[in-house]
Structure 1
């Protein structure tokens, strides 16, 4: 599978935004963590149908990682894409998969419903990254990655920002990787990667949403200044923004949502309702209003998830909604603050 040819003429167009490397990402991307049986089992057929639906909707950016299902997500994504051309694929490094026959009789203990026949080993060394990329290419059935992210290097800054980045730069120079960066659930360290290293793109999960705009304070300004693209992930904040009516029992940031956060989400939903907009649609489209953001990636397990997410991305949202959210202090409009 190669990733450098143009899509078929029959593919519905979806707007793209460019990285400084020249790679174009569709404004909506498919996050494939659930292809790795995240929290519940997914079938090969469901994953394949989700990818087919994504391509039909014009989505051409797909994100995965070895961490997701101990390689299962990458394998399923590669199988589903087959010889599809014109797509952009990102995967991650830093959690090397090694054989673990002694635990193969039990399930993975990191949220994925898969046999623990392999284990994750933190490794941001040159050798670890080279091995990780080689394994990812084999599972995906391709000869290059469009983007390689350092995966959650929160506790590994020294190694990740030195040998990790230098190895990715080497792979970028060789053409094995198109663009390089880091993906994290925090914005502060991502801002340091942008400030101190030669990254092209970063993925920030849950820190630039209708409920958590912390990336506006540190990451987004420096990313825009340096010409580094930002991919916004986890825009539903673990589920609290994923339904039109806010569920007080929904999760926020991987845990039980605090009462104050739920109340703020309800207020945002009420504003959306007044303007005839669904809360999830606003959640998907809000990050795209910032000029540094190149794509929004959401997890999609099935064809239904893909279709509903594409509808949310395409839902017509009047400027009056963003104006009220901004003036009320509920969510600053990035077009006014960036």
Structure 2
């Protein structure tokens, strides 16, 4: 699978990445055998970028991903995790986590973007994964913590990067404006942009993507299906958009895009996966993958040929913004 380098670093990512939130029992239980088989299937398909976080399943995702990768040659893959949520003992457990993961809540999340918090979080991640290093570390959802994130956490990560302890640093969020600030005002190498450069939302063109181009930095795209509305060939009423029920006008727009995709011999989810690569600063699309079957579907969608004429038609019909780049940023056929 084609790889692209995070600019100004030695870290390269495959175009398609494995998002490990779902193997941390996001929304439902994933048996450990399924989780391991999913990682193995991703490896066999050529995926070499794996993303996790302490937040995902209160550490379960990190544990499972580390166990599945531990026997693999360490220099052949890239793993990222995140800082900002420390896992601490929960003095008042209710039995099950309340933030979307089907796990016991013996631990709870504690926001902490301090220097000590960052160092402790990385140490805890290394212990949970059992790996010798983490290649990329992102600040995780620092929306309400700009000052501490920019003034304490990012300089701490920059020191570790400059010492060779980690390979690249950045931030990951569901908004684009603050990610642009991290690219412009801090030592971040790469940002993880969730849902803001998709077939239904190109707001990243207003801030974070120009910032990445201006400063020669890189972007990883996640949430490319916008919580599901773009995940099926024919979107329907009742599907989700950004974690909520999709408004009828967005369902209609997604259906219109799907119909244009059909005229070009492709499908809506395949186009949704390919679309972020229209921008030259986006080097990777990462998707959650729970089972080997999901891995196979995602790899198949990634491998579909998407003619450049599709983007031309979508622009001409006003279904995507007119300032979407005219040619894809990658050379895959």
Alpha-carbon RMSD across the aligned residues, in angstroms, is 1.2
Does the alignment pair 1:335 with 2:325? yes
SS of the residue aligned with 1:96? strand
1:26 deviates by 0.3
2:10 touches 2:167 (CA, 8 Å); kept in 1? no
User: Could you tell me which residue of structure 2 aligns to residue 206 of structure 1?
Assistant: 195
User: Could you tell me which residue of structure 2 aligns to residue 93 of structure 1?
Assistant: 83
Q: Distance in 2 between matches of 1:320 and 1:215?
A: 22
User: Could you tell me which residue of structure 2 aligns to residue 291 of structure 1?
Assistant: 280
SS of the residue aligned with 2:135? strand
Q: Distance in 2 between matches of 1:217 and 1:302?
A: 36
Does the alignment pair 1:315 with 2:304? yes
Does the alignment pair 1:300 with 2:300? no
1:143 touches 1:176 (CA, 8 Å); kept in 2? no
What are the ranges of 5 or more consecutive residues in structure 2 without an aligned counterpart? Answer: none
What are the superposed Cα offsets for residues 88-134 of structure 1, whole Å, 9 maximum, x if unpaired? 0000000000122541x510000000000100000000011100000
Q: Which shows bigger deviation, 256-265 or 181-190? A: 256-265
User: Could you tell me which residue of structure 2 aligns to residue 124 of structure 1?
Assistant: 113
Does the alignment pair 1:37 with 2:20? no
User: Could you tell me which residue of structure 2 aligns to residue 63 of structure 1?
Assistant: 51
1:70 touches 1:119 (CA, 8 Å); kept in 2? yes
User: Could you tell me which residue of structure 1 aligns to residue 66 of structure 2?
Assistant: 78
Q: Distance in 2 between matches of 1:192 and 1:248?
A: 36
Q: Distance in 2 between matches of 1:275 and 1:178?
A: 40
The match for 1:259 among 242, 248, 261 is 248
What are the superposed Cα offsets for residues 258-314 of structure 1, whole Å, 9 maximum, x if unpaired? 111111101101101111111100000000121000100111111011000000000
1:144 touches 1:175 (CA, 8 Å); kept in 2? no
SS of the residue aligned with 2:128? helix
2:312 touches 2:326 (CA, 8 Å); kept in 1? no
1:327 deviates by 1.4
After TM superposition, the score normalised by the length of structure 1 is 0.94
SS of the residue aligned with 1:51? helix
Q: Distance in 1 between matches of 2:40 and 2:80?
A: 18
Q: Distance in 1 between matches of 2:281 and 2:306?
A: 20
Structure-2 change in CA distance of 1:237 and 1:68 (3 Å) = same
- How many residues are treated as equivalent by the alignment? 324
1:60 touches 1:87 (CA, 8 Å); kept in 2? yes
User: Could you tell me which residue of structure 2 aligns to residue 237 of structure 1?
Assistant: 226
User: Could you tell me which residue of structure 2 aligns to residue 25 of structure 1?
Assistant: 13
What are the superposed Cα offsets for residues 43-76 of structure 1, whole Å, 9 maximum, x if unpaired? 1111111011101110000000000000000000
SS of the residue aligned with 1:286? helix
Q: Which shows bigger deviation, 45-54 or 320-329? A: 320-329
Q: Distance in 1 between matches of 2:32 and 2:72?
A: 17
SS of the residue aligned with 1:334? coil
What are the ranges of 5 or more consecutive residues in structure 1 without an aligned counterpart? Answer: 1-13
SS of the residue aligned with 2:325? helix
Q: Distance in 1 between matches of 2:247 and 2:238?
A: 10
User: Could you tell me which residue of structure 2 aligns to residue 7 of structure 1?
Assistant: none
